[in-house]
A = this chain, B = another copy of it.
């Protein structure tokens, strides 16, 4: 039982759009026991689409197609599917009513090309789109299922969540696929691999596959079982996880793709504490991460992006003399910024960053990638100077992760965790 994803769109091939749909589909299909075997991107070309449908259905049971369903002339997926399945188009009344309503609600004129979006292949089961005007289509041929959905992520998610996942779950017998991811921070991939080598060797006989997923400053370890008895596999993964924590527990900050910002938000909520941020080189990204989830107003009081020295002095009360003596990029200035933000916002914790994200602005003494991070806590301040890399985006990412991890560790200390 395996699936294959076909994304259609020249914009994906020429790099104008990143194919994030494939990852979303992979994750959601896995959760119901459908393994994605291959994922392909092709252009808006009829011959290529027809070829791919033949190829994919020779290998896979479910073929999921995204893209090419818009109302404009460059969108050819629907007509190509009609040709492939030898089907004509008929107006679907439910779709037509929805599309009409969509334009009425927005007070926009409905055009003939919009009406034509309700013309759907007679041989498909129509999947209604509650978030847009392009319907989805479910075809079956020689025991294989073909599902075509729009490329607009928000619309595709809606169809999958509202209908398609359930239809697939009913249509196929599926094994239980299990994944367990252990998220580490502050340790290198090969150092980690060396530490857990004998533990890793013990996984094969339990039918557990291990993957290392490095990203800036972090490594995720993923254990996967693709076959076998669910309860046996669950128990084995659980046991192996306990063993792993004995070895590298100090580096583990979360599980199963729980992002660091989510973990930190949860800790703040649990402890009933609040945080504020004063960001220089990270330009609002920490505030953004801390408010990414709903309900963050419970613990996030506010943030200041203080690009200029004047603001650091006026609002955060960083003495000009300190900036002159220690440089604006210094742990001392970062600490005063954190204390200033804590006082200003009246919070329990405050994070501050100051540094040179690059690519310009570096000096011999303070090269690009130098970033000082400080945290003011109920019991004092901690700070550290880092030397990251040359790239602006990576420097900002690493600084944010490091800052959030600093906060996480301090909260755990406060509540007596490890």
Contact = CB atoms under 8 A, between A and B. Distances in A.
Interface in A149-208: 152, 154, 179, 181, 188-191, 193-194, 200
B36 A27 contact: no
Interface in A221-238: 222, 224
Interface string A286-327: 111011101111001111111110010000000000000000
Contacts of A44: 211
A90 to B, nearest CB: 21
Contacts of A114: 190
A295 B291 CA distance: 26
Interface residues of A, number: 99
Contact of A284 (B13, B179, B284): B284
A12 B27 contact: no
A24 interface: yes
A291 B395 CA distance: 14
B40 A360 contact: no
A220 B222 CA distance: 38
Interface string A24-35: 111110100001
A14 B26 contact: yes
A358 interface: yes
A17 B213 contact: yes
A12 B24 CA distance: 10
Contact of A292 (B188, B193, B283): B283
A381 to B, nearest CB: 21
Contacts of A30: 14-15
Interface of A: 10-20, 22-28, 30, 35-44, 48, 70-75, 108-109, 111, 113-114, 131, 133, 152, 154, 179, 181, 188-191, 193-194, 200, 209-214, 216, 220, 222, 224, 257, 277, 283-288, 290-292, 294-297, 300-308, 311, 345, 357-361, 389, 391-392, 394
14 contacts: A10-B211, A14-B224, A16-B220, A16-B222, A38-B41, A73-B200, A74-B210, A74-B211, A277-B305, A284-B305, A294-B361, A297-B307, A301-B307, A304-B304
